[in-house]
Amino acid sequence: MSKEKYHIKNPTLIKAEGNKIIEEFIGNVNTRTSDISIARMKSPPGWQEPPQQPDFDEYTLVLKGALHVQTGNREFIVNANEAFIAKKGTEIRYSTPGPEGAEYIAVCLPAFSPDTVHRKE
């Protein structure tokens, strides 16, 4: 990507675990940006993904609902208007077991990539 400024009018939908929706605005897929990714996530009630140990820092801001975050033996419930920081190399698992699911923004540094998320099956 050149050093020009870009107006990004539409995100790219990215395939996700289960029935979660990922709308990438900035990142490897939509803008060919590898240093940061910014995406809106929509996770329905009952959604969960396998644990992962990514090679990127992830900053999450919950807009609606609640996101459950497990790291090691600790669990956090991140509600609307709250945020969570997961440093790279942290084993983490996200889920939305609550009745309303969650909508949230995820910012990854460097950008999210299937090759660097290291999901455990």
The pLDDT tens digits for 26-47 are 999 999 999 999 999 999 999 9
- Flag whether pLDDT at 20 surpasses 70: yes
Show the tokens assigned to 32: 């060919």
Report the share of the chain in percent with pLDDT over 70. 96
User: Which domains, from first to last, does the chain contain?
Assistant: 12-117 (2.60.120.10)
The pLDDT tens digits for 84-114 are 999 999 999 999 998 999 999 999 999 999 8
Residues near 118 by Cβ (< 8 Å), separated by ≥ 6? 52, 53, 54, 55
Distance (Å, whole) CA 29 – CA 100: 29
Max distance between CA atoms of the chain, in angstroms, equals 44
Residue 1: what pLDDT? 46
Q: Side chain identity at 37, as an amino acid letter?
A: S
- Flag whether pLDDT at 3 surpasses 60: no
**Residue range 80-87: average pLDDT?**
98
Grouping H, G, I as helix, E, B as strand and the rest as coil, residue 116 is helix
Distance (Å, whole) CA 62 – CA 99: 15
**Residue range 47-70: average pLDDT?**
96
